[in-house]
Structure 1
Amino acid sequence: MRAPQEPATTQGQDQEQATPCTRIVPVVLAGGSGTRLWPMSREQFPKQLIGVVGSDTLLQATVHRLDGFAPEWQVAKDPIVVCGEEHRFVIVEQLHACGLDARLVVEPARRDTAPALTLAAAVACAEGEDAILVVMPSDHAIADTPALQQALASAARHAQRGAIVTLGVPPRSPETGFGYIRIGEAIDDGAHRIDGFVEKPAPELATQYVAQGGYWWNSGIFVMRASVWLDALRALQPDMHAACLASFVEGKLDGGTFRPGKDAFTNTPADSIDYAVMERLSKSSGWAPEGVVIALDAGWSDLGSWDAVWAALDKDEDGNVGRGRVEFEGAVATYAHSEGRLVACVGTSNLVVVETADAVLVADRSKVQDVKGLVTRIKAQRAPEADAHRKVQRPWGFYDSIDQGERFQVKRIVVTPGARLSLQLHHHRAEHWTVVRGTALVTRGEETFLLSENESTYIPLGVRHRLENPGKMPLEIIEVQSGAYLGEDDIVRFDDTYGRCG
């Protein structure tokens, strides 16, 4: 990835005469923090980072969707992934696990999908070529990847000539949780001009849309040339364009990670791709690209609820889906997910049961959309179950909060070989460390020493300290914290390998 500079665009050109481009760059939007799949999905570990429909996480499945794409197209091996700082390290770890080194764009604040795509388009243009972007949310499920690739190939041909293309899903039922695209006249290759967008409809209107035809679900997948998106945004959302480009030019490159300028990006209006551009294409005056929609019949689901997860998975003869340690006895149309303990469903009907280490959800499948409101209440109570799992991933490994009480907390900490925590201190707690596996290199004040298995040390309140794993096997310690306040924000960092100081 090159150093930031003002990306060139093609405003004023005849898009029909633009030089054909066969290079495709996947853009994965991974900045969401969905709550409808709670308790699996949390604020700090959203649904794109979990595996609910297969062995891969939703993010990993997304970045592999263009594998084996039609040979006449040159698909970049390193996708552009746009995410937030709080999820950056887990995303990098998951991408490395599936053999990818993505170009990461780390948003300094959440501003919805239109600014996120604008940063990705600026990165693509700054690389020196006007590639075709295939923009995919990271939290959807696709059952038929070849069918998706066929639709994307058709979309790329229209994007070559300057159109902005989206994929629409012919509805299977009158869903009220999706936006709809009203399709216009047919062009060719199964494509239609976009006649308009419709908000999530009431049940009666959704039934009417399905009955009369001409309305497709909005998949949130887009295809366009990078310069075409930037020019469209300049014409239709000049304030957003100016703020995003200023943020890009002020940004800094750190290896394969690009960090846009914080102040300029914070001033960027928040809006979605649909609202900012797509809904305005047919209504704008002056220059604007053509909006095109292509049918996607590939078993698409946005996995917006536990009921959608149940619908996307194979079922037994009674309509049940079980994941993990699950047993059914006389159950019908039940979804059960266990992260550890045995979950037994006896005589249940149309239920969702999800078990994690620190929370259990039991819900009627027809009421799962209300989970979002439940999580809002949990957040208002400042309960930790809304934000993070008991087991929390960190760039150096993970910790698991295994017990807590008044003025104490016990954690199991696992540090990967060669990794180290930040040099830090705490104002409100002291810590006892006991090594149960591996070897620890400990910095405590001015001294540095090694601890082996069954050895321990004490870190007084207010003393600088650091934990490192110098060995070739995972380091595992038990940490006992004691003090008046045990929150994770009682950390003052002085040095950090992962850029978290300040």
Structure 2
Amino acid sequence: MDGKIIPLVMCGGAGTRLWPASREVHPKQFLPLFGVRSTFQNTLLRVSDAGLFERPIVITNKAYRFMVLEQLAEIGLEADVLLEPMRRDSGPAVAAGAAFAQTRDVDAVVLALAADHVVGDTPAFVAACRQGLVAAQDGRIVTFGVEPERAATEYGYISPGEVISGEVRSVAEFVEKPDPVTAAEYIKSGYLWNSGNFMFRASVLLDEYRNVDAASVAAVTDAVVKAGRDLGFVTLDEAAFGSAKAISIDYAVMEKTTHAAVVPVRCGWSDVGSWRAVWELSDKDSEGNAAQGAAVFEDSRNCNVATDRALVALEGVDDLVVVATQDAVLVSRQKDANGLKRLVAKLKTVAPQVTEEHIKVHRPWGSYQSVDNGDRHQVKRIIVKSGGRLSLQKHHHRSEHWIVVRGAARVTVNELVKTVHENESIYIPIGSVHRLENPGKIPLELIEVQTGSYLGEDDIIRIEDDYKRS
């Protein structure tokens, strides 16, 4: 592995700053915010050159594991996927990735990357990685300092120090997010934006972390040693990982180490931390309006619209963001990113469901979406991937009708196994042991009509399950 880098992609965060598109169960790193691919997929493709990068490590949580595999498959890449049993912020996550990298190579050089960032100029970013690699091999923890395009107040800054080699500088100081006046002074003084991505020898990172919190490093290392394997995932030991202190890697290591270095880079970077950031990165019309989905603007300027289905029409307004999903609509001022954070916090107390789940719910076998519901009925649209199948299950409180609208379904109802084709239906009585699967080459689409006294998802008694959820 000499001269190569192991990418460590961190994608366990919830990303509520882009609500309502981003939610707890389907956060922003898995959304196609720009084009057809998600930022998670673009992050992996950015570090897919086998001449410089090794097989990546992805660290995420259990809820996102099948989305990770599905999105890896869509871009034809493979990775070692580590599952955190609970969130402990970025410190333990990075330490776990470093410890796992050492199981592949004791001298591994690791590139820790956030899954939800955008980089417009991949060659410039890769060139910065090459610059930083030598310093990382020499024992430096190398950050990537983005050359500022404006006096941003939403980023931390890095003050570069003396030249180490080539473009690599020592870090004189890390500073927190500034006010506008201070940000302008930082720009004049040559400070860089702190991108939050960095490269290090795994052994160096763990040693520096150990100097600050030896108990947490021991816990995380133990979680890797005791990790299990489940459906191809590496499952970190819950008891060990849970005893690590929840802390960001910046506070745990970066702001304390004497080994920090920085590579300046101009690569069109953004952490996509707000709808305003999405607007800044999007194509716009002559009045500065951006749209993803169907939108019409009249006498409106510098607005941003993202809509799943409904047409959004704006008239006589400026600097608005309007995000319309099938169960929620956001109207907000572009400039107030913190206001959205406060709004989502309030929503979690008054309407938590809309911060957690979409109407369309992703499952390892495909997805389902609620179309209509009442006191004793619910209608869903279900899509099952080719080769996918649901668990063998039963319900105590509901019966179901399945109507196939595309593809072919293999249906088990008690002892009966039957193939149901397009424009055919089948009835599943209450209490019947049943299973749905797609034996075909195209996605299976069907309409499910549920009737009964209770229609909650917790009335699913799984008897067998390919995904070990029973």
Task: Report the TM-score when normalising by structure 2.
Answer: 0.94
Match of 1:398 among 367, 375, 385: 367
- Whether the 8 Å CA contact 1:102–1:256 is kept in 2: the answer is no
Shift of 1:82: 0.8
Deviations 1:290-321 (A, max 9, x none): 11111121111100000011112232222121
- Whether the 8 Å CA contact 1:22–1:131 is kept in 2: the answer is no
Q: Distance in 1 between matches of 2:326 and 2:84?
A: 31
Matching residue's letter, 2:139: G
SS of alignment partner, residue 362 of structure 2: strand
Equivalent position of 1:275 in the other structure? 251
SS of alignment partner, residue 390 of structure 2: coil
Equivalent position of 1:61 in the other structure? 42
Match of 1:173 among 128, 150, 156: 150
Shift of 1:255: 5.8
- Whether the 8 Å CA contact 1:33–1:44 is kept in 2: the answer is yes
Cα distance 1:484–1:373, how it changes in 2: closer, same or farther (>3 A)?
farther
Task: Please show how residues 386-465 of structure 1 align to structure 2 within 5 Å.
Answer: 386-465=355-434
Match of 2:182 among 189, 197, 205: 205
Task: Please show how residues 11-22 of structure 1 align to structure 2 within 5 Å.
Answer: 21-22=2-3
Runs of 4 or more consecutive aligned structure 1 residues displaced over 4 Å after TM superposition: none
Matching residue's letter, 1:167: F
Task: Please show how residues 157-168 of structure 1 align to structure 2 within 5 Å.
Answer: 157-168=134-145
Deviations 1:69-117 (A, max 9, x none): 8x5xx321x2111111111111111111111011111111111112111
Task: Please show how residues 215-294 of structure 1 align to structure 2 within 5 Å.
Answer: 215-254=191-230, 256-282=232-258, 290-294=259-263
SS of alignment partner, residue 371 of structure 2: strand
Matching residue's letter, 2:253: V
1:99 aligned onto 2:76: yes
Equivalent position of 1:90 in the other structure? 67
Q: Distance in 2 between matches of 1:96 and 1:322?
A: 29
Matching residue's letter, 2:45: H
Task: Please show how residues 462-473 of structure 1 align to structure 2 within 5 Å.
Answer: 462-473=431-442
Cα distance 1:266–1:429, how it changes in 2: closer, same or farther (>3 A)?
farther
Q: Percent identity?
A: 46
- Whether the 8 Å CA contact 1:21–1:132 is kept in 2: the answer is no
Match of 2:102 among 102, 125, 138: 125
Task: Report the TM-score when normalising by structure 1.
Answer: 0.88
SS of alignment partner, residue 366 of structure 1: coil
Equivalent position of 1:380 in the other structure? 349
Cα distance 1:164–1:458, how it changes in 2: closer, same or farther (>3 A)?
same
- Whether the 8 Å CA contact 1:21–1:160 is kept in 2: the answer is no
Shift of 1:402: 0.9
- Whether the 8 Å CA contact 2:106–2:203 is kept in 1: the answer is no
Deviations 1:21-49 (A, max 9, x none): 30211111111111111111111110000
Equivalent position of 2:120 in the other structure? 143
Q: Distance in 2 between matches of 1:466 and 1:48?
A: 32
1:487 aligned onto 2:463: no
Matching residue's letter, 1:245: T
Matching residue's letter, 2:25: Q
Deviations 1:96-148 (A, max 9, x none): 11110111111111111121112211221111342211111000111111111
- Whether the 8 Å CA contact 2:359–2:369 is kept in 1: the answer is yes
Matching residue's letter, 1:75: F
Shift of 1:54: 2.7
Shift of 1:178: 1.6
Moved more, 159-168 or 376-385: 376-385
Cα distance 1:277–1:317, how it changes in 2: closer, same or farther (>3 A)?
same
Matching residue's letter, 1:477: L
Shift of 1:445: 3.4
Q: Distance in 1 between matches of 2:461 and 2:224?
A: 30
Q: Distance in 1 between matches of 2:377 and 2:253?
A: 52
Equivalent position of 1:75 in the other structure? 53
Cα distance 1:262–1:461, how it changes in 2: closer, same or farther (>3 A)?
farther
Deviations 1:374-417 (A, max 9, x none): 22222222443211222222111111111112232110111122
Shift of 1:476: 1.9
Match of 1:49 among 19, 22, 30: 30
Gaps of 5+ in 2: none
Shift of 1:446: 4.2
Match of 2:9 among 22, 25, 28: 28
Q: Distance in 2 between matches of 1:67 and 1:420?
A: 31
SS of alignment partner, residue 284 of structure 2: coil
SS of alignment partner, residue 280 of structure 1: coil
- Whether the 8 Å CA contact 2:231–2:467 is kept in 1: the answer is no
- Whether the 8 Å CA contact 1:82–1:105 is kept in 2: the answer is yes
Shift of 1:224: 0.7
1:323 aligned onto 2:277: no
Equivalent position of 1:336 in the other structure? 305
Deviations 1:1-60 (A, max 9, x none): xxxxxxxxxxxxxxxxxxx93021111111111111111111111000011123211011
Shift of 1:68: 4.5
- Whether the 8 Å CA contact 2:117–2:270 is kept in 1: the answer is yes
Q: Distance in 1 between matches of 2:201 and 2:357?
A: 38
Q: Distance in 1 between matches of 2:9 and 2:124?
A: 19
